[in-house]
Amino acid sequence: MKENKLLKLKELIQNYKKILTIISRILILAIILSEGLYIKYQHDIILKMSNANKETTSTQSTQNKQKDTESSSNTQNKEIKLGEPVSVNTPNGNYKFTIEKAVKTEEFNKWDKKVDENNQLAIELFLECENIDFHNEKYKGVVMYDGFNVKDNNNYNLEHYSRTLPNYSDGYEEVLPNSKSKICIIYVGNKDSTSITVTFVRGGSVVIPLT
Q: Give the CATH number, domain containing residue 196.
A: 2.60.40.1240
117 CB-near residues (< 8 Å, 6+ apart)? none
| pLDDT recorded at residue 116 | 79
Q: Is the pTM of this model over 0.85?
A: no
The verdict on 66 and 157 lying in the same domain is: no
The residue segments making up the domain with residue 57 are: 1-72
Q: How far is CA 136 from CA 58, 94, 121, in A?
A: 21, 11, 35
CB 172 within 8 A of CB 145: yes
Average pLDDT of span 169-187: 96
Q: What are the CB-based long-range contacts (under 8 Å, 24+) for 18-24? A: none
- For residue range 47-79, what is the model confidence (pLDDT) as tens digits? 555 555 555 444 454 444 444 433 444 444 567
As a whole number, mean pLDDT of residues 153-179 equals 93
Is position 25 within any domain?
yes
Do residue 106 and residue 41 come from a single domain?
no
To 10 degrees, the CA torsion angle through 14, 16, 20, 23? Answer: 120
In the chain, the number of structural domains is 2
**pLDDT confidence of residue 191:** 92
